[in-house]
Amino acid sequence: MVSYYIIKRPKRFCLQKLISTERKYYLMSTVVEYICPDCGTLLMHDNPVTLESMKDVHIQLCAVKRQQSMAAQAIKPTAAAQKPSVTQVQKAAAPAQPTPSMASPPTAVATPTLGGDTTISLSGTGTNYSKAEGPIDPEFKSKRQVVGSFQGIKVWGPIDPPGQLGIWGTQVTVDYDICIADGACIEACPVNVYEWLDTPGHPGSDKKTFMAREKDCIFCMACENVCPPQCVKIFQKG
């Protein structure tokens, strides 16, 4: 008398249907079953102890399980090899040391705002208003005096803040009483020399282009050429 079944799942075989069918048998008898999670083999027996033994033997002999185990063993060393070492991680975390060939050109690195001496105030109580027409006087350095500085940038008088602000800068100079704050010079500058400076109360515009990083200037003349009212004058060193 056959007291147990070992049913292999054939190709294109509906296991669920089989289980359903066999469960009918199970309901009519005391047969218990085990389905291998790896290969799908269905083990059935009416003695649970015997079925447990069958299950143990099958687990040891299951070809699919063995193949999966071998595949996992083969993958493990590969994964370990791909895992970065502590040294590699530390190297990746460390900032890259620029080599001479990798170093950025000086034109691409903007220095921070100077933050130098400031001896003038933009929020004065002056009554002179000096909205002027361009262009900037290219000879202003021989006609005006330095009356102070703002964050280290020279200011050429006369000034009477907030309505009269004079000409600012040494190499990169802008006549603030002409500037209309359209931003063309900021857009044109390839090395980010300029930034906006609020100048509330000035009749020309309530902000100006401040040459905060004029030492970065590469004298490309772009800002001088694009300025609509021609209030920019670039003086090359030497």
Residues that bind ligand SF4 (CB under 6 A): 172, 174, 179-185, 188-189, 191, 193, 209, 217-223, 226-229, 231-232, 234
Least distance between ligand SF4 and beta carbon 180 (Å): 5
CB-based contacts of 201, cutoff 8 Å, min separation 6: 123, 161, 162, 163
Rounded distance between C-alpha atoms, residue 150 and residue 141, angstroms: 17
- Asked if 147 contacts 112 with a C-beta cutoff of 8 angstroms, the reply is no
Least distance between ligand SF4 and beta carbon 93 (Å): 36
Rounded distance between C-alpha atoms, residue 47 and residue 175, angstroms: 103
Which residue number, 59 or 218, has a Cβ lying nearer to ligand SF4? 218
Least distance between ligand SF4 and beta carbon 136 (Å): 9
Which residue number, 100 or 238, has a Cβ lying nearer to ligand SF4? 238
Rounded distance between C-alpha atoms, residue 170 and residue 155, angstroms: 9
Of 229, 213, 237, residue with least CA distance to 107: 213
H or E element in which residue 188 lies: helix 184-188
Least distance between ligand SF4 and beta carbon 235 (Å): 10
Which residue number, 54 or 159, has a Cβ lying nearer to ligand SF4? 159
Least distance between ligand SF4 and beta carbon 212 (Å): 11
Least distance between ligand SF4 and beta carbon 141 (Å): 17
Which residue number, 41 or 209, has a Cβ lying nearer to ligand SF4? 209
Which residue number, 31 or 163, has a Cβ lying nearer to ligand SF4? 163
The 3-state DSSP class for residue 164 equals: strand
Of 232, 91, 217, 108, residue with least CA distance to 167: 232
CB-based contacts of 177, cutoff 8 Å, min separation 6: 130, 131, 132, 164, 165, 166, 167, 202, 204
Which residue number, 155 or 193, has a Cβ lying nearer to ligand SF4? 193
